[in-house]
Amino acid sequence: MTKVPSIPVDALNSIQDRNAYEVLRAIADILNVRNGQTGDAGSAFVTRAELGNLRGGGSTVVTLPGAQQSQSVTPPYIRPSDIARVINDLQAQVMESPLFKSLGERIDRVDAPGTGVIAQLDEERVTRANAVAALAQLINTLEATVGDQSVALQEEAEVRANADGQIMGRFSVKIDANGYVTGFGLISTANNDTPYSEFMVRADRFSIASPSGPGITPRVPFIVLTTPTTVNGYPVPAGVYMDAAMLRVASIQEAHIDFAAIRTAHIQDAAITNAKIGTAEVDTLKLAGQAVTIPASVYAPTFISHGSGTFVEATVSITSTGAPIAIIVSYGINGSDIVETWLERDGVRVWSKNFVGPGTPDYSFSQPAVCVALSEQPGAGVQTYSLVFRSTGATFGTFERAIVLLETKR
């Protein structure tokens, strides 16, 4: 697509005259929508010339990297984000074509007078030629009418040529059943050295089916529905239905796939928001550091007896990304005097609990299952957590010491 100049909207803010501002703002909006800078990709529009370039490769049609072709040529494809716009533009172009309009016009008939029951066949031949132009036309019309029920079939063939290099050939067949007009046609035109042809079917359903003959199983591999219908009680929307398709290159804006068997996939960039995978077999998996949440933990079950002093009984480190860290601390302890216990992160206490005995061995305390859960957000980097015990009096003992850290990522 040829780049169209854009006008920064902020540049218009200095205009004092309100009418001038409104006019220039409208022009800026048009150019920015044309460029795709305003709105989504479906808001941008293309010119008639660019639509014509779709056949030869415009900017909407790009090359597909890595696709191997027998001719060693990289094929063109349309970006998925442009598909809806291109389809709308092509549909508008088809609907404006002379062949589309001709196949939708009612058949002109000269009803024979009489009883209201008509069966007739008309043939019209036109030939015309002079020094600069030539025309040949043949129109056959069949009509059957009974009362207000009427159906007509018309076959038209026409060729034209003139000295200016313009030529045209057209063949069409259409049926008019009480005003319901359907048909097909082929047209080929050329203006000097630029030929263009078009084949069109205007019908509710178009299909390609197998021939009839010995040993041939009936197949209909390709069906096009142009209007919604109901099949066996189920609504079927308009669209293209294929029993089997082999595609060399496909550009798909949105896909709903129930089952896919893909032999080889080349994916340059994939963004998957949510995936549910029952079984995955991966030869090589590369993940950034702690891209997957993995807990860090330490566990020391052995009973250790201490006298007075400060003792670090368990230590564990985790590399944090800055998200909150869930912490679980558990241990068993017994003693007969004051024992301080705490959890610290790099020397800073984040939790503490003290035990107080009566001061004699006959009245010692025992806490076989101390368990606490907490959470904090220390910031990014390596964080080291330690479980510390301290006593200034009698002997105490600890056992089943554990620290579990889990960064709770989203």
Which domain-ending residue is among 206, 238, 256? 206
Q: Give me the pLDDT at residue 183, please.
A: 97
In 3D, which of 205, 228, 209 has the Cα closest to residue 217?
Answer: 209
Instruction: Tell me, yes or no, whether 48 and 92 share the same domain.
Output: yes
Instruction: Tell me, yes or no, whether 124 and 84 share the same domain.
Output: no
Instruction: Tell me, yes or no, whether 301 and 402 share the same domain.
Output: yes
Which domain-ending residue is among 66, 98, 130? 98
Q: Give me the pLDDT at residue 18, please.
A: 79
Q: Give me the pLDDT at residue 85, please.
A: 86
- Find the CATH number of the domain harbouring 403: 2.60.120.1340
Instruction: Quick: pLDDT tens for 317-341.
Output: 998 888 889 999 999 988 877 889 9
Question: Is residue 209 classed as helix, strand or coil in its secondary structure?
Answer: coil
pTM of the model: 0.52
Q: Could you tell me if residue 5 is left (phi over 0), alpha (psi between -120 and 50 degrees) or otherwise beta? A: beta
Instruction: Tell me, yes or no, whether 152 and 88 share the same domain.
Output: no
Instruction: Tell me, yes or no, whether 326 and 364 share the same domain.
Output: yes
Within a domain: 345? yes
Instruction: Quick: pLDDT tens for 27-62.
Output: 877 777 766 666 554 566 666 666 666 544 455 666
Within a domain: 302? yes
Q: Give me the pLDDT at residue 176, please.
A: 96
Q: Give me the pLDDT at residue 114, please.
A: 54
Q: Give me the pLDDT at residue 239, please.
A: 93
Q: Give me the pLDDT at residue 115, please.
A: 57
Task: Tell me the residue range of the domain where 171 lies.
Answer: 110-206
Q: Give me the pLDDT at residue 67, please.
A: 52
Element (H, E) at 23: helix 18-35
- CA-to-CA separations, 361 to 306, 389, 399, 402, in angstroms, rounded: 15, 19, 19, 27
Which domain-ending residue is among 98, 128, 163? 98
Instruction: Tell me, yes or no, whether 162 and 133 share the same domain.
Output: yes
Instruction: Tell me, yes or no, whether 307 and 368 share the same domain.
Output: yes
Which portions of the chain are predicted below pLDDT 50? 1-2, 41, 55-57, 69, 410
Name residue 121's beta-bridge partners. 142
Q: Give me the pLDDT at residue 51, please.
A: 63
Number of domains in the chain: 3
